[in-house]
A = this chain, B = another copy of it.
Amino acid sequence: MPNPSAAMLVIGDEILSGRTRDANMHYLAGQLTQAGIDLREVRVVSDDRDAIVAAVKALSQAHETVFTSGGIGPTHDDITADCIAAAFDDKNDVRADARALLQAHYDRQGVELNAARLRMARIPDTATLIDNPVSVAPGFTIGNVHVMAGVPAVFQAMVASVLPTLTGGAPLISQTLRIDRGEGDIAGPLGTLAEEFPDLSMGSYPFQKDGKYGANIVIRGTDNAQIDTAISKLATLFPE
Contact = CB atoms under 8 A, between A and B. Distances in A.
A70 B213 CA distance: 46
Contacts of A42: 15-16, 42-44
B17 A29 contact: yes
A51 B41 CA distance: 9
Nearest to A8: B44
A46 B32 CA distance: 15
Nearest to A15: B29
A18 interface: yes
A29 to B, nearest CB: 3
A22 interface: yes
B40 A45 contact: yes
Interface residues of A, number: 26
A26 to B, nearest CB: 4
A76 interface: no
Interface in A25-67: 25-33, 38-46, 48, 51
A21 interface: yes
Given A17-B33, A29-B15, A29-B16, A45 B41 contact: yes
A43 B43 contact: yes
Given A16-B38, A18-B32, 19 more contacts: A15-B25, A15-B29, A16-B39, A16-B40, A16-B42, A17-B39, A18-B27, A18-B28, A18-B29, A18-B30, A18-B39, A21-B26, A22-B25, A25-B44, A41-B45, A41-B51, A42-B43, A42-B44, A43-B44
